[in-house]
Structure 1
Amino acid sequence: MSRTQDVVEDVQRLILDGGLRPGDRLPAEKELASELGVSRGSLREGVRALVVLGILEARHGDGTYVTSLDPATLLSPLAFLADLPGDHSSLHAVRAMLETEAAGLAALHLTDAHVARARRALDDMARALVAPRPDSERLAAADLAFHQAVADASGNPVLAALLHALAGRQARHRVWDEMPEIAGDRTFEEHEAVLAAITARDPDRARLRMAMHMVAIEDLLATTSTDGPAPRRRNLAEATTAR
């Protein structure tokens, strides 16, 4: 094990044992290196790794601090996994399960503020869809905003943080870039159905509507995959257009 990895694990242990708490400033570099039994160079490398992980925050001219350690910060590195190129079928299956449960929980825990956020996202998508030329950036942003509103309405910050990290921004933009007309009306209608079930405070129906929506997303992702077979892409596009 490298000395840098030792630093990472030792600082994590200090946090877990209560020696360092969220918001605490790390001791001076010389003092901490001596305490951990490592060189100052190894300490710096370990600290840089912990900053990337969202565990520490370097403040220019003010030292290094333990972050708030909230789920959103600690889980954000997962976004890199979601945006890696390749077959995302397994990742999408996990996201579908989480999105479905989030919708069910949202039906039980939503507030007026959450409803307003989801409605704004739907309104933004509607305006983008009637524009003379589809704006894929705007459509993707509205799509993401709706799902984030539902995730936050679940009342579970860890679940919401996981869904924010696994949002798959690159894949989402690919769908909207390549087929805004096909994805647009279909996605808007499905979002409307999900929100209607949530605002009716019907968790079973909300889960069902979100599950159906996630299957539709899986189909759309398949049509934009460079690895997907051409016949499936052509047939799905024809079937979707015929709706």
Structure 2
Amino acid sequence: MAVTDEAILKIKAMILSGELGPGDRLPPEKELSEALGLSRSSLREAVKALAIIRVLDVRRGDGTYVTSLTPSLLLDAMSFVVDIHQDDSVLELFEVRRILEPAAVALAAPRLDGADIAELRALVAQVDETTSPDDLVANDMVFHRYIAERAGNAYLTSLLDTLSSSTVRARVWRGLTEQGAVTRTLTEHSAIVDALEAGDVDLARAQATVHISGVMQWLRRASEV
């Protein structure tokens, strides 16, 4: 399991045990990192991720607090972390996406015109290093849906849309916890568009495979105990 995720699960255990409750202030970073057996950098990344999903509230110059959400809501907000690591079906969904996404790209390639390429590049341009994980995944979904819709097969488009929607939480969590996730997504999307613009179907298919495989590799690493 990734060190950041381990830190998050240890903080969750403190909330579950009642050691931390709504409105409580976390111990100082040095003290907490030593108590949990974590590096301060890992703890910082965990705090950052938990602040984004509104479990923690970082108050500059004051400290870090558990938000005022009730214990049940706090634990619900964190439950998907455990789900991602323990549910093998998420990885199986990505395995199916790795088969179908390249097929959709290959079918769409000869149907794309200059306006389509421009639209795909515009989607890529909407994302930068300041983009939130939620917005990154939303953009990713639109990017893939745009290509799938031009594959000319409504059943394939519908199936891919379902698979994509079913893996949103895992992809958001990747954006929260994996360093460089935004840059990697941008690079991979750009590579797919470059291959499509060049009319190189085999390369476009290969780039789509690499793109989905990257998420699968992260998920496998995150699931290791």
- Give the TM-score range, shorter chain: 0.5 to 0.7
1:151 to 148, 152, 155: 148
Counterpart in the other structure of 1:42 = none
Where does 1:195-206 land on structure 2 (aligned, <5 Å)?
A: 195-206=193-204
Residue 221 of structure 1: how far off its partner (Å): 2.4
Instruction: Tell me the TM-score normalized by structure 1.
Output: 0.52
Where does 1:43-192 land on structure 2 (aligned, <5 Å)?
A: 86-87=87-88, 88-126=90-128, 129=129, 131=130, 134-167=131-164, 168-179=167-178, 181-192=179-190
Q: Take 2:186 and 2:221, find their aligned partners in 1: how far apart are those partners?
A: 19
Counterpart in the other structure of 1:219 = 217
Residue 213 of structure 1: how far off its partner (Å): 1.4
Q: Take 2:219 and 2:122, find their aligned partners in 1: how far apart are those partners?
A: 25
Q: Which amino acid aligns with 1:214?
A: I
Q: Give every structure 1 segment of 4 or more consecutive aligned residues whose post-TM-superposition deviation is greater than 6 Å.
A: none
Q: Take 2:205 and 2:91, find their aligned partners in 1: how far apart are those partners?
A: 20
Does the residue aligned with 2:152 lie in a helix, a strand or coil?
coil
Q: Take 2:113 and 2:91, find their aligned partners in 1: how far apart are those partners?
A: 33
Does the residue aligned with 1:197 lie in a helix, a strand or coil?
helix
Instruction: Tell me the TM-score normalized by structure 2.
Output: 0.56
Q: Which amino acid aligns with 2:139?
A: A
Q: Take 2:171 and 2:105, find their aligned partners in 1: how far apart are those partners?
A: 19
Q: Which amino acid aligns with 1:169?
A: V
The structure, 1 or 2, with the larger RCO (C-alpha pairs under 8 Å, 6+ apart) is 2
Kept in 2, the 8 Å contact 1:104–1:204? The answer is: yes
Kept in 2, the 8 Å contact 1:102–1:154? The answer is: yes
Q: Take 1:163 and 1:112, find their aligned partners in 2: how far apart are those partners?
A: 24
Identity among equivalent positions (%) equals 30
Kept in 2, the 8 Å contact 1:109–1:153? The answer is: yes
The one-character-per-residue Cα deviations of 1:144-192 (angstroms, maximum 9, x if unpaired) are 121112211212221111111100222221211222x421111111111
Q: Take 2:180 and 2:202, find their aligned partners in 1: how far apart are those partners?
A: 28
Q: Which amino acid aligns with 1:91?
A: L
Does the residue aligned with 1:160 lie in a helix, a strand or coil?
helix
Q: Take 1:122 and 1:137, find their aligned partners in 2: how far apart are those partners?
A: 15
Does the residue aligned with 1:101 lie in a helix, a strand or coil?
helix
Q: Take 2:102 and 2:135, find their aligned partners in 1: how far apart are those partners?
A: 24
Q: Which runs of 5+ in 1 are unaligned?
A: 1-83, 231-243
Kept in 1, the 8 Å contact 2:171–2:215? The answer is: no
Kept in 1, the 8 Å contact 2:98–2:209? The answer is: yes
Q: Take 1:145 and 1:223, find their aligned partners in 2: how far apart are those partners?
A: 27
Q: Take 1:193 and 1:173, find their aligned partners in 2: how far apart are those partners?
A: 22
Residue 210 of structure 1: how far off its partner (Å): 0.9
Residues 160 and 117 of structure 1: CA distance in aligned 2, closer, same or farther (over 3 Å): farther
Q: Take 1:156 and 1:211, find their aligned partners in 2: how far apart are those partners?
A: 19
Residue 115 of structure 1: how far off its partner (Å): 2.4
Residues 207 and 143 of structure 1: CA distance in aligned 2, closer, same or farther (over 3 Å): same
Give the count of matched residue pairs: 138
Higher Cα radius of gyration: 1
Q: Take 1:94 and 1:162, find their aligned partners in 2: how far apart are those partners?
A: 10
Give the superposed CA RMSD.
1.9
